[in-house]
Structure 1
Amino acid sequence: MKKILIQILLLQLFISFAFTQGKIKGYVFDSETRKPLPNANVYVENLALGSATDQKGYFEINNVPAGRINVVASFIGYAKQKKIVELAPQAEINLVFYLEPTVLPSQTVVVTALIASEKESPVVFSNLEKQQIKDFYTTQDVPILLSELPSVLSYSWSGNGIGYNYLNLRGFDQRRISVLVNGIPQNDPEDHGVYWLDMPDLLASAGKIQIQRGAGSAFYGPPAIGGSVNIITSNFSIEPKISLFTGYGSYNTKKHSIAINSGLIENRYSLYARLSYIATDGYREKSWAKFPSYFLSAIRYDDNMTTQIHLYGGPFEDHLVYRGIPKSWVKDKSKRRANLNYMDVTTRDDEIENFSQPHYELLHELKLSDNLILNNTLFYIRGVGFWDMDASWADTVYFRLSSPYALKYGFTTPSRNPGEAIARYFIDLNQYGWLPRLMLKHGKGELTLGAELRKHTGFHWGKIVWAQNLPEGLPSDYRFYEYKGAKDIFSFYLYELFKFRPDLRLMLGLQFVYNRYKVYNEKEFYDYNSGKWISNEFSVPFRFLNSKIGISYDLTQNINVYGSFSITSREPSRRDLYDASDGYWYPWGKKPNFEVKPDGSFDFTKPLVKPERLFDIEFGGGYFSDSYKFIANFYYMDFRDELVKSGQLNIFGDPIVGNAERTRHIGVELVAEIKDLLIEGFEIGGNATISRNKIVKHGVYVWKNPYTGERYSTPQRIALDGKRIAGFPDYMGSLRISYRKGGLLISILGKYVGDFYTDNFNLVPSNNVGGIDRKVDSYKVFDLTVGYRFDKILGLNNFELKIQINNLFNALYAGSGVGDEFYPGAERNYFVGVGFEL
């Protein structure tokens, strides 16, 4: 009887247990090729349950206990993917995994430490994945490719996206965006600019790009105001291969490249090398550019250690194009391609630029234990080159040829100005850096401790290359200015992502920043007021404590809400303090931005331009699933002493900025993505930004009233309270519609940018007597991409033909402007490329 009772009890338990179990099934695919991954491992976390996929990528796991469970898919050479599901008793759940290729373990640390993830990080971000980069990149620079992401605006000096290109995020220019490549800061330490042409064809070796919007979104580099851009290179593959690409397009644009990948050697080594050449005549007159480039990588895997080396760059040459056209020419096909110089005459043939900036990177990861990882990045960036500019406007005083200099340096005092002239501006830059980072995984989350140590030095000088009238005896190497600039950078940060529960996470970030500018060894110049020979030398330190706190909460499996608050400060650029190459000795030159002592000298302990300070509040939420994504984000950015454009340019075409006492930026960002809606392979994604960017309190002193034309005997203050801030559109948006079927891709992208002003007076013909128009009109641009890929044809693997037609409907527009100068976008243009593997 006992045996019968026990058997009945066991049977009841078995039946009860069986009826509380369910099934999980689905597929695992490669995220790039969308091909199935056979023999991938799919398992339930913390349970001895799992399955391998078949040749179609299909898996099935039976007898899974009901409840909230984590399902993980993994495959060698790919990043793991986890899905959290609620399994009801006797239910079946279908899952589809798209795994991202990666054979670089060290990148997992880069990604964990710097890259935000959906429903985990309370950060506003957007990604461009490797396949998207591969689909839509041909020759255009990084800002142009990123322009379809939320709140991103880009424009090109040459008009066709090759050469000098600029990125705005929420209206903030790239001097206030922290740009990183493999976690290494790319903003110039002295002027904070980003020169994308120093990294030609970088996108050909990029595996992922993430833009994080809002303040404090980068651990190091220049403090992020508008946000951060992090480019992760990913070059390695499991199998050896040789990839070739060639293409041709409008304005004699051409590209040729070859990439060699060794594959994984002895499960320990991998090598990668790419050589590229991009050249174009440019859309605007005399805007040609030639960009040879290289990217070399090597990696070694050890049991608990990974070491990776990168070397990339390219010595380029181009013709200068840095001035905009009058607004009245923007719609005029016969004039809009003009390339004007400083004096509004045709640019000379000998206004050229030569520059090279090789990047040397060492990325090292040491796994000290299962929960403790040490990552070190060492880098060296060397930049050397010059640009030759027309300087026919300059006189003997600017070139330091007047009598005091003639007497000092032993040449004849000139009797007339140089006349037609070309001046060479030379720079020699060196930057060293060490970025250590320690990541500790603990029971409730992850703690990251890190530091940034960088040292930058720059040697700057200018000389006359040629002039109509030069004084006798002038040395051939005579330099009319010369100085050295330097910057010491140190920061320490800690970052904690704390999980109270699986659905509730807290983010805490704290960063201490110390930056010190130096100018020294400046060539003496003659001060006509005091009758003395002087030079400027100073050292100015800045110290900041930046903080960020955020919270992320999963309302349901698919719905996440978040909020964050940041306090971020940023120092002005060294050029904002003193631009020694802009001609301080010259009557119209830019004086040092420091208080003046009673004796007329400068007090270099008291800069007049102040650091900007930002309080940023962000909150929003989203709905996430395999087929749908909807996100809404609200931001409120309150500034003290924001550095805003004055509407003027220096002699090199760069905007001159100054502090506004108080400004405010408020906006809403909306994002939607839908995949496989009704038709498999049909995708639609779009975004929109609505913002209001106002000066709360600010005024400038002018000699002439910009509205009435009245001239003053002494400078008068013009209040700008309530004006829109120059460079910030109130409306932006983009929409991409794509269809993929087999090897076919058809995609059309539409972008809209609302109007914005080019100075803070908000001048339009209706509000000033001179009829001045300083507003970039709103515009719409559409780009079409069509491609087809054959897995194998004529003995070639992954043969792909790609056609891009940009500005499909031939809109005549200006992408941006400063003051009275507007930068036109290219008319309808095309590029056709062919790529394949051996």
Structure 2
Amino acid sequence: MKTMKNWLLTGLLFMIVSTVFSQGKITGTITDGSNSLPGANAVVKGSSDASSSDFDGKFSINTSVASGEIVISYLGYDSKTVKFSVSKGGTMNLGAIVLTSNSNQLDEIVVKSSVVDIAKDRKTPVAVSTIKATEIQAKLGTQEFPEILRNTPSVYATKGGGGYGDSRINIRGFDQKNIAVMINGMPINDMEGGTVYWSNWAGLSDVTSAMQVQRGLGSSKLAVSSVGGTINIVTKASDMKEGGSVSSGFGNANYLKVQGSYNTGKLANGLSASVLLSKTSGDGYINGTQFDATNYFVALGYATKNNKHDFQLTVTGSPQWHNQRSTVSTIETYQKYGSKDDPNTRYNADAGYLNGDEYNIRKNYYHKPVASLNWDYKINETTKLSSILYGSWGRGAGASATGGIGGLSYNSSAFLMPNGMVDYTKIQAWNSGQGQVNFNGANRTRTQIGGVYQNSSSTGRTGLGTTASPYVYNTTSGISQTSSINSHDWYGAIINLDKKLGKNLTLDFGVDARTYIGYHYTVVNDLLGGGEFFDNSMASLKPAGRHLTSTYPTDVQWNPFQKKEYDKIAFNSTGKVRWYGAFTQLEYSKDKLTAFVQGAVSQQGYKREDDFVYLPTDPLASTDYKNILGGNVKGGANYNLNEKNNVYVNAGYYSKQPFFNAVYPNNKSTVNPNLTNEKITGFEIGYGFRSRFFNATVNAYNTTWNDRYLKGNALPDSPGIIGNTTYTEYIGLNEVHSGVEVEMNSNITDKLKVNGMFSYGIWEYKGNATVNAYYQADNTPVPGYVGNIAYMDKVKVGDAAQLTASLGASYEVVTRVSVDANYNFNDKLYAGINPINFSSPDNKGSLQLPSYGTMDAGFSYKMLVGKNKDNSVNFRLNVNNVLDKTYIAESRTNTFADDNLPVSGTQPIGSKGTYASNGMLYNGVATTNQVFFGFGRTWNFTLRYDF
């Protein structure tokens, strides 16, 4: 066993906090009618006197006023105002203050900034679900951050390859490039490609106060990519209640996490501070996916005594490295290293051994700190200015393999040990001329070039691969580990002016400006025994090229401002993006009716610099900015029929600019002649019911996505076309996503709570698309492959379950001892598709994968400690996939059970039979499909001391 068992932290943080002379003291206990509400806010209206409830729901405020009102608020509950009167030096106990649950609301007292677009229940007309900090802290465990959203309607989250932070999420069938992710009002989707890498944000789970998912176009005033929805993450503020916590957790696969945090609370001088530090490591559930991550969070706050100005400076980051599973194996491969009925779902075709130690050539290492300064200025009773200034500095890369040995990749069968692990020692022996490899029917030994064993990007294979002209193999190639660096500098500002025009009208308008520089190049990490790396990709040095011997470790760069110099290979380009936006919103609210109309416009400029592909004198070495205009308009209304029932409707239109790789396809600097904005039209209608014991929402939606840009894979090998020398683009690709969603929760008794959801989607392509193919070298069209038809009409959109449902319950067995369980079901899950496979009008569509359900369960116990019982020790046990269900989470291919097996030579099609007739099926799916299975049973235990 490793040092995992040394999981108890022994150190505590101590700080001295000054207090001011008070008129009197006000105390009370905040509950939801059955349980205490720890961390609730209590504020004396019109003053800076405030406190937060402890872990038993109790609070105490030293106030300098004799009488007034206290506003009680808590995430997910309606606020309550209570009057008080206290004599000088006296104490007034308000007793039990009961708040009413409002599951989708984040109170404005917690979220001060009008830049943070938080939907309010029975007011904002959008479909929304809110996950509170207590649920994230208790139930996330060893899961990925997006997975906490699995039990909200129309959300599908998977672990991808299974590496730390490699999970992905879909909302209403749209991937996370088309989901806006916001942290405290700041957009974090990559400005070049819209991507979100959760490994960079894994530490957010430690500092999140609440996370809100707005499905559909959402309520964000910015022109962001919220095609499928918006994920709003609100982090802790520095002015939380004084106190802190230390915790430690461990789980399967040597998972270990330790964490400490402390909050000063709001001091008499208006200052506040909050800090958190955590460390997480483990071997990973998937073979060869070891990881190590650190998370830090610092928040500094200042509020003036008259509460006109509030400043919050936040800095957070999560430097990490993790080994990956990037190769998508076939089902028959998982069966080969397990059994036919029990495939080895943990198998990783990238993992292996080098000189007796575990080694994985696929590795991600990254550090993306982000700093933001929020300033909220209450100009007067009707005007408020909210601003965010932010910066982000990403440093890191993804390591992989470059080159080949006689046309063989690093995880070809020639380099696999009997257990399926990669024999990197054998590759090293070949690279150094000390070993033999069998290819092209013979055992071969590597030869030198110019007296040295020279690695390069060459695979050692040439030719077209036809029977008449077989591949030609050579013995001069080798395999190296290289990293594709994807670093960036990102700065932005959002300013919003909120003006009440009268009793019922509020006008918002503001600006959104961003600038982004992305640095993209490749470096050599490990020659694996080779003597040098030959690179001939720099135009100014051709044909002589460069002979390089320098290598660079795959270490995390903690200092993001350090400028490192590298010998760069393969490519070196800089992508620059400028974003200028403006937005406005007019909201009407009176009695039962709330309505809004909203508009935003943005201009995105794209510039590409490249000194590898182009000579310095070539105008394409540095392009002008290609500016593209886009924006949106949307509106909606909510009407409260009575105190329990409400209805709402919303609609909107987006003109969404294409991503960087659509403007400059295939890493070249020629602007795509087929550029067009994507057009998204959304409509939604919903109904809500609220009561003390039961809450429910029902909504229906329709989203049309026209002119979607999609860059496809290379054309297959054929006479006249060499593999991996082309790429494809799809013009006129349209989708329609429609469906219904239901979400509900109920307090059956004071101790028993039940929640559930159901969603059913119909997500299909609409009409046919045009396929164009181009050569990678110069972006020129491939003869005969321009204007081909992809028959996509009615084909199901893949990669996300179109039917999801869940049912969960929690029960307090005795005081502060509870158990909970949740069952999640997924159906109508289709494989990811490549439109090039839909060249025939009678195609079979998308492959439907088997439905599956998983159960999670947990146990919690809180023990009150300390002289006044105001501290606590908390125990939490999570078990995910309790029943150890084996299931396919995603498939990259579309091979059907009744498809014919491939034939060769003169064999007639169908002569070998189908996959079904040959027994090549697993749970009804052809075993040649490339899939990722979901995780089996996992568990973790956490012990936390709150003080």
Fold-level similarity (TM above 0.5): yes
The equivalences for 1:497-536 within 5 A come to 497-499=587-589, 501-524=590-613, 535=621
Q: 1:127 aligns with which of 101, 119, 130?
A: 130
Q: Per the alignment, do residues 834 and 37 of structure 1 end up closer, same or farther by CA in structure 2, a change over 3 Å counting? A: closer
Q: Per the alignment, do residues 202 and 728 of structure 1 end up closer, same or farther by CA in structure 2, a change over 3 Å counting? A: closer
Paired with 1:257 and 1:648, the residues of 2 have a C-alpha distance of: 47
* Corresponding position of 1:266: 268
Paired with 1:522 and 1:437, the residues of 2 have a C-alpha distance of: 40
* Corresponding position of 2:882: 808
> Which blocks of at least 5 consecutive residues in structure 2 are unaligned?
1-27, 46-55, 60-68, 82-95, 410-449, 459-473, 535-545, 551-566, 717-722, 774-781, 894-928
Q: State yes or no: 1:422 paired with 2:481.
A: yes
Q: State yes or no: 1:722 paired with 2:808.
A: no
CA contact (8 A) 1:251 1:282 kept: yes
Alpha-carbon distance, 1:607 to partner: 3.7
* Corresponding position of 2:311: 307
Q: Per the alignment, do residues 417 and 230 of structure 1 end up closer, same or farther by CA in structure 2, a change over 3 Å counting? A: farther
Q: State yes or no: 1:828 paired with 2:937.
A: yes
Bigger mean CA deviation after superposition, 34-43 or 167-176: 34-43
Alpha-carbon distance, 1:614 to partner: 1.0
Aligned to 1:286, the other structure's residue is in SS state coil
* Corresponding position of 2:635: 549
* Corresponding position of 2:112: 109
CA contact (8 A) 1:636 1:666 kept: yes
CA contact (8 A) 2:41 2:73 kept: no
Offset from partner CA, 1:382-417 (integer Å, 9 cap, x none): 011122211234999x9xxxxxxx9xxxx9999965
Offset from partner CA, 1:57-103 (integer Å, 9 cap, x none): 99xxxxxxxxxxxxx9723899994589xxxxxxxxx9941599999
The equivalences for 1:374-389 within 5 A come to 374-389=385-400
* Corresponding position of 2:892: 818
Paired with 2:112 and 2:678, the residues of 1 have a C-alpha distance of: 32
Q: Which amino acid aligns with 1:698?
A: N
Alpha-carbon distance, 1:504 to partner: 1.3
Offset from partner CA, 1:784-828 (integer Å, 9 cap, x none): 111111121799922111000011111111222333532221111
Q: State yes or no: 1:666 paired with 2:738.
A: yes
Alpha-carbon distance, 1:188 to partner: 0.5
Paired with 2:135 and 2:491, the residues of 1 have a C-alpha distance of: 33
Paired with 2:644 and 2:132, the residues of 1 have a C-alpha distance of: 22
Offset from partner CA, 1:609-637 (integer Å, 9 cap, x none): 53221111100111112221111100011
Aligned to 2:289, the other structure's residue is in SS state coil
Q: Per the alignment, do residues 734 and 658 of structure 1 end up closer, same or farther by CA in structure 2, a change over 3 Å counting? A: farther
Q: Which amino acid aligns with 2:626?
A: V
Q: Per the alignment, do residues 329 and 336 of structure 1 end up closer, same or farther by CA in structure 2, a change over 3 Å counting? A: farther
The equivalences for 1:67-82 within 5 A come to 74-75=71-72, 81-82=78-79
Q: Per the alignment, do residues 720 and 478 of structure 1 end up closer, same or farther by CA in structure 2, a change over 3 Å counting? A: closer
Paired with 1:31 and 1:174, the residues of 2 have a C-alpha distance of: 39
Paired with 2:388 and 2:34, the residues of 1 have a C-alpha distance of: 29
Q: Per the alignment, do residues 27 and 371 of structure 1 end up closer, same or farther by CA in structure 2, a change over 3 Å counting? A: same
Paired with 1:702 and 1:826, the residues of 2 have a C-alpha distance of: 38
Q: Which amino acid aligns with 2:371?
A: Y
CA contact (8 A) 1:646 1:759 kept: no
* Corresponding position of 2:906: none
Q: 1:687 aligns with which of 741, 749, 757?
A: 757
The equivalences for 1:589-608 within 5 A come to 590=666, 604=671, 606-608=672-674
Q: 2:807 aligns with which of 735, 742, 754?
A: 735
Q: Per the alignment, do residues 159 and 39 of structure 1 end up closer, same or farther by CA in structure 2, a change over 3 Å counting? A: closer
Bigger mean CA deviation after superposition, 437-446 or 485-494: 437-446
Alpha-carbon distance, 1:714 to partner: 4.6
Q: Per the alignment, do residues 751 and 647 of structure 1 end up closer, same or farther by CA in structure 2, a change over 3 Å counting? A: farther
Q: Per the alignment, do residues 103 and 143 of structure 1 end up closer, same or farther by CA in structure 2, a change over 3 Å counting? A: closer
Bigger mean CA deviation after superposition, 625-634 or 368-377: 625-634
Q: Which amino acid aligns with 2:768?
A: H
The equivalences for 1:659-808 within 5 A come to 659-675=731-747, 677=748, 679-699=749-769, 701=771, 714-715=784-785, 717-740=789-812, 741-760=814-833, 774-792=847-865, 797-808=871-882
Q: State yes or no: 1:166 paired with 2:168.
A: yes
Alpha-carbon distance, 1:32 to partner: 11
Q: 1:338 aligns with which of 342, 347, 350?
A: 347
Q: Which amino acid aligns with 2:227?
A: I
Aligned to 1:172, the other structure's residue is in SS state coil
Q: Which amino acid aligns with 1:233?
A: T
The equivalences for 1:425-504 within 5 A come to 425-441=484-500, 442-467=502-527, 468=530, 470=532, 474-475=547-548, 476=550, 477-499=567-589, 501-504=590-593
Q: Per the alignment, do residues 522 and 634 of structure 1 end up closer, same or farther by CA in structure 2, a change over 3 Å counting? A: farther
Paired with 1:39 and 1:701, the residues of 2 have a C-alpha distance of: 58
Q: Per the alignment, do residues 774 and 103 of structure 1 end up closer, same or farther by CA in structure 2, a change over 3 Å counting? A: closer
Bigger mean CA deviation after superposition, 382-391 or 216-225: 216-225
Q: State yes or no: 1:367 paired with 2:476.
A: no
Q: Which amino acid aligns with 1:182?
A: N
Offset from partner CA, 1:393-448 (integer Å, 9 cap, x none): 4999x9xxxxxxx9xxxx99999653222222113310001110111123113222
* Corresponding position of 2:206: 204
* Corresponding position of 1:576: 662
CA contact (8 A) 2:39 2:241 kept: no
Q: Percent identity?
A: 19
Paired with 2:106 and 2:165, the residues of 1 have a C-alpha distance of: 32
Alpha-carbon distance, 1:514 to partner: 1.1
Paired with 2:57 and 2:320, the residues of 1 have a C-alpha distance of: 47
Paired with 2:761 and 2:512, the residues of 1 have a C-alpha distance of: 34
Bigger mean CA deviation after superposition, 813-822 or 485-494: 813-822
* Corresponding position of 1:18: none
Q: Per the alignment, do residues 258 and 149 of structure 1 end up closer, same or farther by CA in structure 2, a change over 3 Å counting? A: same
* Corresponding position of 2:235: 233
CA contact (8 A) 2:162 2:325 kept: no
Alpha-carbon distance, 1:682 to partner: 0.9
Q: 1:354 aligns with which of 365, 374, 381?
A: 365
Q: Which amino acid aligns with 1:608?
A: N
Paired with 2:870 and 2:42, the residues of 1 have a C-alpha distance of: 27
* Corresponding position of 1:317: 321
CA RMSD, 1 decimal? 4.4
The equivalences for 1:138-153 within 5 A come to 138-153=141-156
Q: State yes or no: 1:635 paired with 2:701.
A: yes
Paired with 2:597 and 2:406, the residues of 1 have a C-alpha distance of: 56
Alpha-carbon distance, 1:165 to partner: 1.3
Q: Per the alignment, do residues 394 and 362 of structure 1 end up closer, same or farther by CA in structure 2, a change over 3 Å counting? A: farther
The equivalences for 1:585-624 within 5 A come to 590=666, 604=671, 606-624=672-690
Q: Per the alignment, do residues 312 and 205 of structure 1 end up closer, same or farther by CA in structure 2, a change over 3 Å counting? A: same
CA contact (8 A) 1:418 1:470 kept: no
Aligned to 1:108, the other structure's residue is in SS state coil
CA contact (8 A) 1:644 1:725 kept: no
CA contact (8 A) 1:316 1:354 kept: yes
Alpha-carbon distance, 1:199 to partner: 2.0
